[in-house]
Amino acid sequence: MRGKTARGIIRRKIEEWISSIDDLGVRQTAEKNTIVTGGCIASMLLNERVNDFDLYFRTHKAAMDVAAYYIKKFNDGLPESTQLVKLEDLEGRIRIKVRSAGIATEEGDAGYQYFETIPDPDAADASEYVDAALKVIEEGEDDEEKPKYRPIFLSSNAITLSQHVQLVVRFYGEPDKIHENYDFAHCMNYWTSWDDELVLRQPALESLLARDLHYVGSKYPLCSIIRTRKFIKRGWTISAGQYLKMAMQLNELDLSDVSVLEEQLVGVDVAYFTEIIEKLKGRGMEKVDSTYLLEVIDRIF
């Protein structure tokens, strides 16, 4: 697909999403502060199916305002007893707080009940839960009787809307700032709402043409290592040198610190890894006992 065509598709998608926002202030904020980047642009350029449009925001205020709008929408549709979601601003770091399970869906507190009632899920149980959460998203996409662009799935980092839109609120800023949290070059093309510009970067295009993963460095090397699995399944390649770069960055981190481990697992198989972190915290651990951690991982996976 040509870049001009991709830009038109993104523009129409964002215009449709913005028109669904019934709060004038939030709508104007979204019009002036939205960034589309990540895998959706890569998929379009490769003529592949787009799974989701990943949206980021230019400022802290824009990210907070949009997140607060959708959290209110999400909670308004649920009984008070099942309102699981709150928005936190911890010294400029935005976090969606979902009790216990770490995620919430429009079906209510199934996730909360799951992890509260099953203290040590085996691999089959955890897999069943993740499959159920994904089913909620898929069914939400196709439900024409419900409003478009409604929140259907929330995690600590992002809000998934119907119609294949994901609002990432953990990171915000200008595109270069957002890409400081990115790991692979092919995902670093972007579109901006305030000037309707699609920026295609040479390293990203070269990586796409070769279907070769090029690691550019990341704050989350553990996440990056785990993420390579999905690309390899899609026919991408990665050299030993790229793995070495990730391993060297990972070596600089103290994964025995629970808070560091939690930070490194951001965005990776959230249901599984949230359970690991909760178990470590439940034992009052600040440092990870590697023997216990291996036992927990074997039980959950």
| Residue 21, in any domain of the structure | yes
pLDDT tens per residue across span 30-89: 999 999 999 999 999 999 999 899 999 999 999 999 999 999 888 886 666 556 677 888
Domains: count for the chain: 1
Q: Is the pTM of this model over 0.85?
A: no
pLDDT tens per residue across span 80-115: 655 667 788 887 888 887 765 556 666 654 443 333
| Residue 232, in any domain of the structure | no
| Residue 287, in any domain of the structure | no
| Residue 274, in any domain of the structure | no
* Domain that residue 58 falls in: 1-210
pLDDT tens per residue across span 234-264: 999 999 999 999 999 999 998 888 778 777 7
Contacts of residues 257-262 at CB distance under 8 Å and 24 or more positions apart, as own/partner, are: 257/286, 257/287, 257/288, 258/285, 258/286, 258/287, 258/288, 259/286, 261/288
Residue 154's DSSP bridge partners are 104, 159
| Residue 163, in any domain of the structure | yes
| Residue 278, in any domain of the structure | no
